[in-house]
A and B are shown apart, each in its own frame.
Chain A
Amino acid sequence: MHFTVVQKRLAWAVVLGGLLVLTTLAGSASAADKPFYSGKTIRVIVPFSPGGGTDNYARFASRHWVKYIPGNPKILVQNMPGGGGALTFGYLYSKASRDGLTLGVASEGIPVRRLLRRPGHTYKFTEMSLIASAPSSTTHFAGKSLDIKELKDLKKTSGKIVAGDTQKGSTVAIVSGLIFELLGLEYRQVYGYSSYGEARLALLKGEVNMTGGDAFNYALVVKPLEEKGEVTILFQSGLLDSKGNVARHPAMPHLRTVREGFVELFGKEPSGTVWEAIKGIIAVNTLGKSVWAPPGVPEARIRDLEDGFRKMVADPAFQADAVKVMGGKNDAVIGKDAQAALKQFFGLPEDVVKLYR
């Protein structure tokens, strides 16, 4: 039997084509069995330069997170600084792929800037999916020169307080200003330090006598200073528990909240607009570092990510590492529960919001 050249080529084409179809079918069949995230890479975008608290948290958590997401994807942490988070969240909201492979991490300050409608912050949190959040809490401490032995000494410092902050509008700066207001203390805030680390150094130099931090660096850098008598830690802002009450952060169980401090000083519960405003920031702190997906990501993928996060924080191995790296246990609020805290925050009345400006 003789085949012409054309026939031979045709036969080859048929064989190759058949193989191609078979492999595609096999591929799609196995893809149906395999979880979506298998063999994929998730991009997690951090809206700040490397090295900050949000970046540290993102890099720390994502390293563990991948182990609990079905399919064990890879995670790549990328930095997209700009506009105090506006660039990253604008990108997530309107440009990022909606396949669940691009996520973003927000700091506490980003919802505040969104609430205040800072330029560029035009994305809508309500249309995006909040996957999980790691609650934080701000700390507030005084330097030696204020000579605060116990909390009631604070009353004597009115007019002498010079607080060091990074910038107007940072959550620590807002909440410490409000706390001084609440306690009826006269104070001055100095802005411009590039980080709360630098502000802390200025406190040690005696340039300022009050500054703050958060739950993520408390045990590692602030508490040691207290043990040496360099600083007096006054209170933490606290976070909202499941019933909506102000509670202590799990990484700082020995540190009184602002509410407790107020009760100790004045013998009554705090109230009024200033207190409402502080509670608003506490709600944002409860959100802490939050992980977001763009709008329109398939529900099943969101659930995979949420479940992964839930399993991660339940794992003692993760918590042991959290104590080692972040200095304390790291709880998380997952999905819808976390979004509730945010809804409360964006529903604040205008007379409260204007205190943040």
Chain B
Amino acid sequence: MLESLLTALGVIFSPYHLLLLFLGVLLGILLGAVPGLGGIVGLTIVLPFVFEMSPSEAMVLLVGLVAVVTSSDSIPAVLFAVPGTAAAQATIMDGHPMAKKGEAGRAFGAIYSASMMGGVFGALALLLAIPIMRPLVLSVGSPELFMLGIVGISMVGVLSGRAPLQGLIAGMAGVLASMVGMDPQTGVLRWTFGALYLWEGLPLVPAVMGVFGIPEIVEMVIRRRSIADVPRHAIKGILVGIGDTFRHWFLVLRCSVLGTWIGLIPGLGSDVVDWFAYGHTVQSSRPRESFGKGDVRGVIGPESAANAKLGGSLIPTIAFGIPGSLQMIILLGAFMILGLRPGPEMLTDNLDVTFTIVWSLVLANVFGTLILLPLTGQLAKLALVRIQVLAPVIISILFLASFLTTRDYGDLIVLIGFGLFAWVMKLAGWPRPPLVLGLVLGPIIGKYLFISTHAYNGFGWLARPGVILLFLAMVASVAFGLVRERRGETAPEGSVAGGPHEA
């Protein structure tokens, strides 16, 4: 095993492999930073070239590409409150307020160093998990997945700031909106109004862009100011941010574990990982008042989890040939093209390839951060540009990125609809994150509740140890929060999470 590990290291350090990795990383950074594009687009672009490659060459390119997408997707999230991919939703929560405070540089420093550490940790987790992949993946059934969805919903409290009731209502509105589309269990069309577009449900990316991006840009344009209220030195901020990450190393570690674990469960998907990490960060940190107002911990947590997730999600793909996300489905397609069969063979005959993947993950994350750090010193200055100049660009990005989702006019309607709704919410002081959380978790809860009751024929599954454990953990964390609140500590709220009073 050690020998293959070193062989793989030797392979990846050959000039050609390094070049491919570098190309993959560059493409990944570019696609992550542009909202609406992402790892899936990148994989479909490079897939035709994979046919002519050896397995190790292909893996270096593909893994390099997907590994860094979740690093650079925070650039538009921090600067414009527009997530580069679905994995950067929670980064907006504190990243954008940081940019408003003139701390965009600090945010980027923290994000890239946290991403790198998370990514490397995910690779290590992949390495360590190789011998115990099977029980790890098989231990989580549909009832546990349902319970995880419920745990996620309980985070509404954390995300609602001073308005828990409004938060709950917004969360339920999100769950309700997520029910649009064809119900896979019965084939019934729910709230589709005869529109084929709605069969697949409301698309997440335009909705999230509407909820976060539109109200921010509208407000900035009305006020006619640059994104940052106070100009500061971007470059210096980056070093401060890196220091922040190292100071909160234990948070990075915890969120990396969380990210890896969510990644290795097929069924949860990449949309939820950053919200879970954000929820955990807020729940486990104190003081909590500064969350939502530009607390650096609020970007460190989600970003380390987002990059750690890839290592985790490779586990079921490699070990069972069961992909946990769309990206992994395409990666699995590449496996087939290369003649690699997922399964135990990947740990015996093709162990070299598996280790090449591990090393690619590590190197890609390091490369990605080394490329991004000097770049974003300049990008952070965008926060100082007059909004009259920036707004047309941001608005075009919002519309183009939304339209790329399915290339249907419906995407634009979803963007504008959610945008208007969210703007009104913001004016009225209602928290918006629970709306997105409901939209993300709604399908998971509905799906696994249905499967659990049917597969276990009733509600006996509620007595499964995993279900009870998750339930107790949830109750404990909610109760803990309530007790602390009664003691007089205020819950977090901020310019994204909370009402109009603080902006």
Contact = CB atoms under 8 A, between A and B. Distances in A.
A324 B51 CA distance: 11
B132 interface: no
Contacts of B456: 207
B455 A162 contact: yes
Contacts of B243: none
Contacts of B138: 201, 204-205
B194 interface: yes
Contacts of B197: 82, 87
Residue from A51, A60, A168, A207 whose CB has the most chain B CB atoms within 10 Å = A51
Interface stretch (B179-187, B224-232, B379-387): B179-187
Contacts of B254: none
A190 B48 contact: no
Interface residues on B, range: 35 or more
A197 B454 contact: no
Given A190-B451, A228-B344, A325-B337, A90 B196 contact: yes
A104 interface: no
Interface residues of A, number: 50
A309 to B, nearest CB: 19
B450 A192 contact: yes
A120 B199 contact: yes
A188 B321 contact: no
A122 B406 CA distance: 21
Interface in A49-69: 49-52, 56, 59-60, 63
B460 to A, nearest CB: 13
Interface stretch (B289-297, B302-310, B323-331): B323-331
A86 B187 contact: no
Contact of A191 (B47, B142, B184): B184
A59 B199 CA distance: 25
A50 B329 contact: yes
A224 B343 contact: yes
Nearest to A49: B326
A103 to B, nearest CB: 18
A83 B196 contact: yes
B200 A82 contact: yes
B417 interface: no
Interface string A90-111: 1000000000000000000000
A310 interface: no
Interface in B193-222: 194, 196-197, 199-200
Contact of B451 (A51, A193, A200): A193
A90 B406 CA distance: 16
Contacts of B333: 51, 56, 59
B44 interface: yes
Interface in A284-327: 324-327
Contact of B447 (A50, A188, A192): A192
A63 to B, nearest CB: 7
A148 interface: no
A220 B342 CA distance: 8
A199 to B, nearest CB: 10
A208 B48 CA distance: 37
A39 B456 CA distance: 57
A81 interface: yes
Interface in A172-225: 188, 190-195, 197-198, 200-202, 204-205, 207-208, 220-221, 224-225
Given A87-B196, A207-B142, A220-B341, A201 B185 contact: no
A224 B184 CA distance: 29
B408 to A, nearest CB: 8
Nearest to B192: A119
A207 B322 contact: no
B190 to A, nearest CB: 12
A164 interface: yes
A84 B200 CA distance: 9
B342 A221 contact: yes
B405 to A, nearest CB: 10
B454 to A, nearest CB: 4
B267 A207 contact: no
A204 B199 CA distance: 31
Interface in B34-81: 40, 44, 47-48, 51
A80 B411 CA distance: 13
A166 interface: yes
A83 B137 contact: no
Contact of A52 (B137, B194, B329): B329
Contacts of B332: 51
A167 interface: yes
A83 B406 CA distance: 13
B152 to A, nearest CB: 18
A325 B40 CA distance: 20
A198 B47 contact: no
Interface in A159-173: 162, 164, 166-169
The 5 closest A-B CB pairs, nearest first, are A51-B329, A83-B196, A167-B184, A190-B454, A83-B199
Interface of A: 49-52, 56, 59-60, 63, 80-84, 86-87, 90, 118-120, 162, 164, 166-169, 188, 190-195, 197-198, 200-202, 204-205, 207-208, 220-221, 224-225, 228, 324-327
18 contacts: A50-B44, A51-B332, A52-B329, A59-B333, A63-B51, A80-B407, A87-B196, A167-B184, A168-B186, A194-B447, A197-B321, A198-B322, A204-B320, A205-B138, A207-B451, A208-B455, A221-B343, A224-B341
Given A59-B333, A83-B199, A168-B184, 10 more contacts: A51-B330, A63-B51, A82-B200, A197-B322, A200-B322, A201-B266, A205-B141, A207-B456, A220-B341, A324-B339
